[in-house]
Structure 1
Amino acid sequence: MSKGQQTKTAILDEAVRLASRVGFNALTIGQLAEATEMSKSGLFAHFKSKEALQLATLDRGREWFTGVVIRPTLASPRGIARVRTLFDRWLVWETETLPGGCIFVTGSIEYDDQPGPMRDALVRNQRDWAEFIESVASAAVNEGDFRADLDLQQFAFSLQGLIYAYHHGTRLLRDPKSLEHTHRGLELLIDSAKA
């Protein structure tokens, strides 16, 4: 990686952390310049616009997510164990990786009714995530852990519902039982899917 690429990656890493705390709409080149102790003109040379910065930040967040959630999930044994790993790794992403929690949940709330490139990119990310959950559940079906007639789309939808509920319960409501409720919800979902 060239020095310029290293610098841009370091900038984007800080942008991901900022977006986690303040959201994508509040992420500005000026704010990022202050956080990275760089000039606005230097950052503008990298990104050209606020939207380009937001899209690059989202892409960098996806790279982080792949390292924290996707790769460890695929490295675990197929079946229910992989489903649990997927969920546990997402909890690490939500609670330990970023100071303000999942940027994809935050972005989904910010851009759900705003057409444009950011919404399109978030929709692609969320669809890819749902398909990944479906593939993990499908592997559990193939292993004989889940029943053959399992509705994979419904399973992915329900698992994502638990993820959003956990984010809402912990971030907004500060509910101390959010983790307990989320784990109980996961067990109920797994039990309903078992062969």
Structure 2
Amino acid sequence: MADTAQGESADVAVVAQRRRRPTRAPHKGQQTKAAIVDAALALASHVGLEGLSIGAIAELMGMSKSGVFAHFGSREELQISVVREYHERFEREVFRPALAAPRGLPRLRALFDHWMRQTSLEIDSGCIYISGAVEFDDRPGAVRDALVATVNTWQAAVRKAVQMAIDEGHLRADADPAQVAFEIHGLILALHYEARFLRNPDGLRHARTGFDNLIARYQASRA
């Protein structure tokens, strides 16, 4: 138990050094809650959603346990807030920048490029979608439901991007958006495994080549 406590304290110390300053909120209570979620997300990136505890966050924030609890009401609600914040940041870093690219294949490629970049930035922390799937794959409940809902949201966005590429004539009319999106997701999962677990410096190059090969298979022939 002593070793576990020392390990948790070490994780808290690391996160305390790395976490960013929270964005200002209109009201002090909202600002404090946002800061707690920010700290909890940073910690969860290292220890997983199940590694979160009211006590650990209180120590990280320099607050009392009751002070942290008052903002969420339960550990589960804290975990759900972290999932939602991660999803918001994922959309902000991956999907929204891709919208600047022209519709169709350029936008789909931009989406994949931003996704690869995000994955490479998470090498020293982790992806909540991936770690959360491992932690909650067979555990029904509100946290799993929140994870599934956010994953379904961005998967639908990928399928929509593929469909746009079909509509623009960049991909074959008979291409299945769900299948193409599935294969794109597979490349990202492989990249995460290669880069984070195996520390393979060629992971990004392999992922980019895999995407190019994928597009070549589905690309519409030019008349």
TM-score (norm 2): 0.82
**2:56 pairs with 1:31:** yes
Q: What's the counterpart of residue 49 of structure 1? A: 74
Q: What's the counterpart of residue 12 of structure 1? A: 37
Choose 103-112 or 149-158, whichever is displaced more.
Answer: 103-112
The answer on whether the counterparts of 1:93 and 1:101 sit within 8 Å (CA) in structure 2 is: no
- Secondary structure at the aligned position of 1:25 is classed as helix
Count of residues paired in the alignment: 195
Q: Residue 192 of structure 1 is aligned with which of 175, 199, 217?
A: 217
The answer on whether the counterparts of 1:69 and 1:90 sit within 8 Å (CA) in structure 2 is: yes
Could you tell me which amino acid in structure 2 is paired with residue 193 of structure 1?
Answer: Y
- Which stretches in structure 1 are left out of the alignment for 5+ residues? none
* Structure 2 Cα separation of the partners of residues 95 and 32 of structure 1: 26
**2:186 pairs with 1:161:** yes
State which structure, 1 or 2, has the greater radius of gyration over its C-alpha atoms: 2
CA RMSD of superposed structures (Å)? 1.5
- Secondary structure at the aligned position of 2:119 is classed as helix
Q: What's the counterpart of residue 134 of structure 1? A: 159
The answer on whether the counterparts of 2:123 and 2:195 sit within 8 Å (CA) in structure 1 is: no
* Structure 2 Cα separation of the partners of residues 58 and 146 of structure 1: 33
* Structure 2 Cα separation of the partners of residues 106 and 65 of structure 1: 15
**2:99 pairs with 1:74:** yes
The answer on whether the counterparts of 2:124 and 2:196 sit within 8 Å (CA) in structure 1 is: no
* Regions of 4+ moved over 3 Å: none
* Structure 1 Cα separation of the partners of residues 128 and 100 of structure 2: 24
Q: Residue 90 of structure 2 is aligned with which of 41, 58, 65?
A: 65
The answer on whether the counterparts of 2:171 and 2:219 sit within 8 Å (CA) in structure 1 is: yes
Identity score, percent:
46
Deviation at 1:162, TM superposition (A): 0.9
* Structure 2 Cα separation of the partners of residues 95 and 52 of structure 1: 29
TM-score (norm 1): 0.94
Could you tell me which amino acid in structure 1 is paired with residue 46 of structure 2?
Answer: R
Q: What's the counterpart of residue 170 of structure 2? A: 145
Deviation at 1:37, TM superposition (A): 2.0
- Which stretches in structure 2 are left out of the alignment for 5+ residues? 1-25
Deviation at 1:99, TM superposition (A): 4.6
Describe the shift of the 1:135–1:120 C-alpha distance in structure 2 as closer, same or farther (beyond 3 A): same
Question: Which is bigger in relative contact order (C-alpha 8 A, separation at least 6)?
Answer: 1
Choose 55-64 or 101-110, whichever is displaced more.
Answer: 101-110
